[in-house]
Amino acid sequence: MRAMYRVIENKPKSMLAELEEVWRALPVAWMLARREWKAKYAHTAMGLVWAVIPLAAYVAIYSLFFSVLLKVETAIPYPLVALSGLIGWNYFKDIIYNAAPSIANEGQFLKRNVVPRLIIPLYKSLLGLVELSISVLLLFVLLAAFGFPFSARALLLPFVICLNFLTGFTVAIWACSLSGRRRDFFYLTASALNVAIWLTPVFYLPSLIPAGFRPFLYLNPMATVVEAYRWILLGAQGPPLFAWAGVAFFLVLLPAGLRLFFIRQHKLVDFA
């Protein structure tokens, strides 16, 4: 009698097949994000007010430092400059802080649940949308207080938020893929953010930078994203055309980062 053998092939899936699985599991990502949003503010007396307090404190402190003490002159009231810069930067930072170590942190969840691993950094990247929405509402309040007219460009806000998300997620997915169970690369990325905020026009306008050095500022894609927020919300001068080319070049790294993630995804989870 001939023995029957079953050959099991463990070939890696194509990137398209991986993305199709993630697409089908998107409702799971949204459900997990909603659950974490509720848990974050469920046991607090003031709820979402806690998202406003640190933001208002940042704006007040930097307005005092730059506008009053250093007497930095801007055509736009400085609180609007600071808040419009913080909108994009805070979401970018939140995506990296939440998504980059997410696979290593969610080993127990992945041990109990069968979901595409990319769902974890994806839903973690959505968590900052609550604070971003509150920041935009606060900016609208300040615009009304300073008598600034609302521009039709504000209709482009979803496009800029999407660009903000893709920029942050590109960094996060590379940091997640390269860190694995050891978190050295995540700590390196977090430390780099402390420097990068000063290389991004968050608390100042690009006009403060000498014209000869301004092109180097836009090598940082977040400089373009921050200025895009100011362009659509404050009516400020938009980023130069070459800056958008820099963002497009940066986003080319996203498919490469996703491919690396899919290759290494089974080595990234710490089930301990």
Is residue 259 a contact partner of residue 16, using CB atoms and an 8 Å limit?
no
pLDDT surpasses 50 at 271 = yes
Taken in order 200, 206, 208, 210, is the CA torsion positive or negative? positive
Residue 9 lies in a domain: no
Residue 152 lies in a domain: yes
Residue 91 lies in a domain: yes
pLDDT by residue (tens digit) across 109-150?
Answer: 877 878 888 999 999 999 999 999 999 999 999 999 988 888
Instruction: List C-alpha distances in Å: 52 to 58, 116, 132, 165.
Output: 10, 34, 10, 21
Is residue 209 a contact partner of residue 188, using CB atoms and an 8 Å limit?
no
Which three-class secondary structure state does DSSP give residue 201? coil
Q: Rounded CA gap, 60 and 164, in Å? A: 24
Burial of 194 (0-12, 13-18, 19+ CB in 10 A): exposed
Q: Rounded CA gap, 81 and 78, in Å? A: 5
Q: Rounded CA gap, 18 and 115, in Å? A: 11
Residue 2 lies in a domain: no
Half-sphere exposure of 257 (CA within 13 A, CB side): 22
Q: Rounded CA gap, 80 and 86, in Å? A: 10
pLDDT by residue (tens digit) across 160-207?
Answer: 999 999 999 999 999 988 876 667 788 888 899 999 999 999 999 998
Is residue 147 a contact partner of residue 212, using CB atoms and an 8 Å limit?
no
Domain that holds residue 130: 21-37+45-268
pLDDT by residue (tens digit) across 106-119?
Answer: 777 877 878 888 99
Number of structural domains (the chain) is 1
Residue 7 lies in a domain: no
Q: Mean pLDDT score of the chain, rounded to an integer?
A: 86
Give residues with Cβ within 8 angstroms of 252, minimum separation 6: none
Q: For a pLDDT cut of 70, what percent of the chain falls above it? A: 92
Is residue 35 a contact partner of residue 28, using CB atoms and an 8 Å limit?
no
Residue 199 lies in a domain: yes
Is residue 123 a contact partner of residue 129, using CB atoms and an 8 Å limit?
no
- Picking from 226, 203, 167, the residue whose alpha carbon sits closest to that of residue 65 is 203
Give residues with Cβ within 8 angstroms of 239, minimum separation 6: 218, 223, 224, 227, 228, 231
* Tokens 């998107």 sit on residue: 26
Average pLDDT score over residue span 205-230: 92
pLDDT of residue 162: 96
